[in-house]
Amino acid sequence: MIGTVKIITVSFLEDDVFDGGIPQVSYDNATTADFEVDTVEEAVRVISNAGLSFAATGTDWAAHPDGSQIVDYATAEREDVTAHLHGFTENDATAIINAVG
């Protein structure tokens, strides 16, 4: 294993957003999925398959380029999905970030 890609999904109601911020309780109830990967290519595939991009954040974690997504129009529930790299060497993290874009 060369590292772990952690996909975090935060669900919240649109009406609960205050001053552009998602309520803390939403983060407390977030779901996570850890993908232990053996190659840079595998990490790129996990992040790309989730539809996430490092270009969307301009930093070392990835998000959906269009921001949070509505998952239930009846309740206005939204999901914010992000990917975070853990345990990768600096070179491998850079290669993942560059490949995903």
Cα 3 from Cα 16, distance rounded (Å): 35
Cα 31 from Cα 8, distance rounded (Å): 6
Spell out the domain ranges in the chain.
3-100
Alpha helices in 1-101 (DSSP H): 24-28, 40-49, 90-100
pLDDT (tens digit per residue) in 23-74: 888 989 999 999 999 999 999 999 999 999 999 999 999 999 998 999 999 9
pLDDT (tens digit per residue) in 60-99: 999 999 989 999 999 999 999 999 999 999 999 999 999 9
**pLDDT reported for residue 10:** 95
pLDDT band at 13; cut points 50, 70, 90: very high
Our measurement of the distance from residue 45's CA atom to the centroid of its chain's CA atoms, rounded to an integer in Å, reads 13
Tally of CB atoms within 10 A around 11: 17
pTM for the whole thing? Answer: 0.89
